[in-house]
Amino acid sequence: MSLKINSEIPNVFVKTSQGEFFIHDWLGENWGIIFSHPKDFTPVCTTELGALAHLEKKFNKKDTKIIAISVDSIEDHQKWILDVDEVNQCKVNFPIIADTSLEFSKAYEMLPADDLPLDTRTAADNATVRVVYVVGSDKKVKAALSYPMSSGRNFDEIERLLDSCQMTAKYKVATPANWKKGQEVIISPSVTDDEAKKLFNKWKSPKPYIRFVDDPS
């Protein structure tokens, strides 16, 4: 389940709480966070929408747009947003896709194979519809995460993952375990020492195959 890394996201036409558009047009030349929910008015997802609403300004500074998706109607989305704002003391400004036909969920491989009619589905039936995609400005999937129904997503980690994806897309580096923006990174194994001297000048190498350098950004 879920789209493969480096695959182009399907250019689905969507109806959202903020209008209708093709997803590629919405993304433009920005990065994107696409995150899905099993159903409106579910408790964990209500906290998640609020958490991301609080982070939206930080994501905007990273040239990253946010869009959510749930299988319910726009009317339900608008009512749910009021709850989210109240519970989390926030303002949801990003669009939420109304995927009543399940077209988007199917195109983005968010559903199990044994689909059920919408009017008989529950949050439990949609358990696999809790996916996060980090999408690059080239409209390709850079990272994909799936979560169970009972575990709220850590959006600080998703921000960290976005920082890593943007860093490694711009520079010939990889990020080590538990890396945070501003910390040392690793020169990509595909970069020869001669090339590394031109790109990074110097590095620390505890082992021949590990080369640590300061954050190049």
45 in active site: yes
Cα separation of 126 and 82, whole Å?
Answer: 23
Cα separation of 198 and 184, whole Å?
Answer: 18
Catalytic residue among 45, 49, 97, 167: 45
- Contact between residue 100 and residue 118 where contact means Cβ atoms under 8 Å apart: yes
R_g of the chain, CA atoms, integer Å? 19
Coil, strand, or helix at residue 108?
Answer: coil
The tokens describing 174, both together, are 């990889």
Q: Strand order of the sheet with strand 204-207? A: 173-174, 185-187, 210-213, 204-207
User: What are the residue numbers of the active site?
Assistant: 45
